[in-house]
Each structure stands twice: as C-alpha cells, then as structure tokens.
Amino acid sequence: MLVLSRKKGESIIIQDNIEITVLAVEGDTVRIGISAPKHIDIFRKEVYASIQEANRESATPDVPSVNAFMKLLQGIENKKK
C-alpha cells in the first residue's frame, strides 16, 4: 500500500486520468473529490463489498429451481419422442 500525506487542496494522480483531491479535513473526517472518466466506476468500499456479495448470490443457482427446470426440459424431450 502506498501511503501519502496531502493537505487540503492537494491532489494525487492515478494513471494519467484519475485525480483525487483533498477537499476538507474536519476532525477524523476527510472529504475527497475524485475526477475520473465516466466509464470508471467509483464506489465506497462497503458499497462495493455489498455489490460483490449480491453478484455472488445471484450467480449461485437455486437447486430446486434448477431441478424443476431440468424436469421441464425432460418433459419437453419426452413429448417430442
């Protein structure tokens, strides 16, 4: 992990097209601004983790539904014969 110190109004640049600027520092809270191309998704870490978990859950097959679908397909195949 790269650790940098920045003051209010100072920025860092990532790969020529992402700029992160320190907007304010108030106690334990740091406000940052991020300028990046529109095709780059930017999420808070907890939101990103929630999205990843939802994606994993939606990609996991529901066994009863898969079994019902297989029976449906078998019924269609049996009718063709």
Q: Which of 23, 28, 27 shows the shortest CA–CA distance to 10?
A: 23
Q: How far, CA to CA in Å, does 52 sit from each of 24, 38, 60?
A: 30, 21, 13
What is the pTM (predicted TM-score) of this model?
0.65
Model pLDDT, residue 15: 95
Give the amino acid at 76: I
Structure tokens at 67: 């079994």
Question: What residues have CB less than 8 Å from 21, skipping those under 6 apart?
Answer: 9, 10, 11, 32, 33, 34, 35
Q: pLDDT tens, 47-69?
A: 999 999 999 888 887 888 888 88
Q: pLDDT tens, 19-51?
A: 999 999 999 999 999 999 999 999 999 999 999
Give phi and psi for 3, each to the nearest 5.
-115, 125
